[in-house]
């Protein structure tokens, strides 16, 4: 989806939505390829990309995609916000809002998501997401398995515009 503004003829805004189903209670899903392809489709050459998960028990992070490190991340999240700890959110005898049938005990998932954050903003340079050598973009499932939606918005100047990065100067 594209949007334009009359005062910014050379500003391009592109938005897309990814829906997927996670498979595990805690899961790191690499979104790097999808984000890169979406940036390419957007036609933006220089600007930013924002990736946002539309849920309160999931997160978006940037880190290394190395299996043992991901296991370390999962263990760290369990130490910081153990699933076995009591959470007021899970006490349905006290809680009166935002209840649904078959409510899950997921206070730990909300606590973990609060620490990780729901979105990331990254630079787009020369039509590509600017990432370091080992950086990958992840959706972090904290209360799976569930259906998840991830919104992406790319904003900036079109490829082939007169914009130059500081590296070109």
* Per-domain residue ranges of the chain: 2-82+106-158
In percent, how much of the chain has pLDDT > 70?
89
Q: State CA 56 to chain mean position distance.
A: 12
**In angstroms, what CA-CA distances link 79 with 8, 71, 73, 117, 139?**
48, 12, 10, 18, 20
CATH architecture of 2-82+106-158: Sandwich (2.60)
Please list the ranges in the chain whose pLDDT falls under 50. 169
What tens digit of pLDDT does each residue of 119-163 get?
999 999 999 999 999 999 999 999 999 999 999 999 999 988 665
Q: In the prediction, which pLDDT does 147 show?
A: 98
Site of tokens 């992070």: 61
* DSSP secondary structure of the chain: -EEEETTEEEEEEEEEEEEEE--SSSEEEE-HHHHHHHHHHHTEEEEEEEEEESSSSEEEEEEE--HHHHHHHHHHHHHHS-TTS--GGG-TTT--SS--TT----HHHHHHHHHH-SEEEEEEETTEE---TTEEEEEEESS-S-EEEEEEEEEEEETTSS---GGG-
CA distances from 18 to 4, 13, 117, 122, 145 (A): 22, 17, 18, 18, 16
| Inter-residue contact 141 to 22 (CB < 8 Å) | yes
Question: Is the pTM higher than 0.85?
Answer: yes
- Alpha-carbon distance of 140 to 131, in angstroms, equals 18
Return the pLDDT at 169: 44
């Amino acid at each position: 989806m594209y949007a334009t503004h009359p005062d910014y003829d050379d500003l391009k805004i592109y938005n897309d939505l990814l829906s997927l189903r996670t498979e595990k209670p805690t899961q790191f899903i690499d979104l790097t390829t999808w984000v890169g392809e979406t940036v390419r489709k957007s036609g933006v050459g220089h600007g930013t990309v924002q990736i946002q998960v539309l849920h309160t028990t999931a997160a978006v992070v940037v880190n290394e995609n190395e299996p043992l490190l991901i296991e370390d991340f999962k263990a760290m999240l369990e130490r910081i916000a153990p699933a076995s700890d009591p959470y007021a959110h899970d006490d349905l005898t006290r809680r009166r809002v935002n209840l649904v049938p078959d409510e899950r005990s997921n206070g730990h998932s909300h606590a973990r998501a609060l620490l990780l954050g729901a979105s990331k903003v990254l630079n787009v340079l020369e039509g590509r997401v600017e990432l370091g050598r080992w950086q990958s973009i992840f959706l972090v499932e904290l209360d799976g398995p569930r259906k998840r939606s991830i919104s992406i918005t790319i904003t900036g100047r079109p490829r082939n515009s007169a914009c130059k990065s500081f590296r070109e100067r």
